[in-house]
Amino acid sequence: MLRFLVRRVLGASVILLLISAVTFFLFFAAPGDPALLACGKNCTPDALTIIRENLGLDKSIPHQYWLFLSGIFTGRDFAIGHCDAPCLGVSFNDRTMVWDTIIDRLPVTVSLTVGGLIIFLTLGIGAGLLAAAKKGTMVDKAASSTSLVLSSLQIYFIGPVVLGAVVYSTGWLDAPQYNEFFDGPMAWAAGLLIPWVVMSLIFTAQYTRMTRAMMIEQLQEDHVRTARAKGMGSKYVFFRYAWRGAMVPIVTILGMDLGGMLGGAVVTEMTFGLAGIGRLAVDSVVNVDLPLTMGVMLVGATFILLFNILVDAAYAFIDPRVRLS
């Protein structure tokens, strides 16, 4: 297990390094000059030179990349003060520490993810199991067709529809907003209820379809049939044998979804006006803000890699045939 973890963490570090390099160099290849955005009216070449110096853009690109990388391990000094390791630099746009900004935004994205996760896993897997158990019945048909419709929806479509129906037109619910969990769990949940539900609608549908398909497949496997032939109870076979086998692909997809969601649920956050990592990513690109783009990209990539490792590790617990070494 330890060897597995060390190997995977090392691999992930190399990937992160590559991602950071590619992002950094692509940034300079893309159109848009961050110095120009910070240059007021009647911007002159001299004024641009001063801004480039202020932003550190006067140095060569490899030099800038080296400063960025070394800052992560040793910290850096900026005009606004010292940036402790892991230092992701200072935003070009609002001159705040990128690390602090990301830490500040993370709770929103984590809250969105965790709440949504609980809803869509419970409903999605529950409905999938039910449909599989009642295969061919009205229950199955209802679950399958509903999930087919829901999984074809998009948050940017269904989000405004729900907002229009329950917030703007009727006032049944307050418009979504993020309240700190520790300031009051009820207000936290109430503020995020609509995004959770909308996000879950789509994810629930996907997990329902996947669970149903996996379970039906597993229920036809030899080991399940053998278990039945041995006279084991149908519930025991369903959960102990079939479900365990069906979990492997579900956990894989879940790991990918979680990594992506924690890296920033861009569409959900934009649709509901929530200031999380996804919104930050969009803002950083719009503002041609290199340090912030790098920071968000690295945090997002780290989540995805982390969940990939966790998923691989989880296989060993779910499927006894898998050995990490």
Structural contact between residues 118 and 267, judged by C-beta atoms closer than 8 angstroms: no
- Choosing from 168, 236, 239, 317, the residue that interacts with another protein (CB under 8 A) is 168
Judged by CB, which is closer to another protein: 92, or 238? 92
Of positions 33, 58, 221, 319, contacts another protein by CB under 8 A: 33
Does 280 participate in binding another protein (rule CB under 8 A)? yes
Q: Which of 154, 193, 151, 147 is nearest to 173 (CA)?
A: 193
The nearer residue to another protein, 53 or 137, going by C-beta atoms, is: 53
**Residue 101 is a binding residue for another protein (CB under 8 A):** yes
The single residue among 12, 67, 123, 275 that binds another protein, judged by CB under 8 A, is 275
31 contributes a contact to another protein by CB under 8 A? yes
The whole-angstrom separation of Cα 64 and Cα 55 is 10
Give the dihedral of Cα atoms 164, 166, 172, 175; nearest 10 deg. -70
From 50, 114, 232, 324, residue interacting with another protein (rule: CB under 8 A): 50
Backbone φ and ψ for 77, nearest 5 degrees, come out as -105, 130
For the chain, the maximum distance between any two Cα atoms, rounded to a whole number of angstroms, is 85
Q: Which is nearer to another protein, 84 or 94 (CB)?
A: 94
Does residue 96 interact with another protein by CB under 8 A? yes
At residue 53's C-alpha, the angle toward residues 50 and 55, to 5°, is 110
Which H or E run contains 83? Answer: strand 81-83
Residues that bind another protein (CB under 8 A): 31-33, 36-48, 50-51, 53-54, 79-81, 93-96, 101, 104-105, 160, 163-164, 167-169, 171, 174-175, 177-178, 270, 273-275, 279-280, 283, 286-288
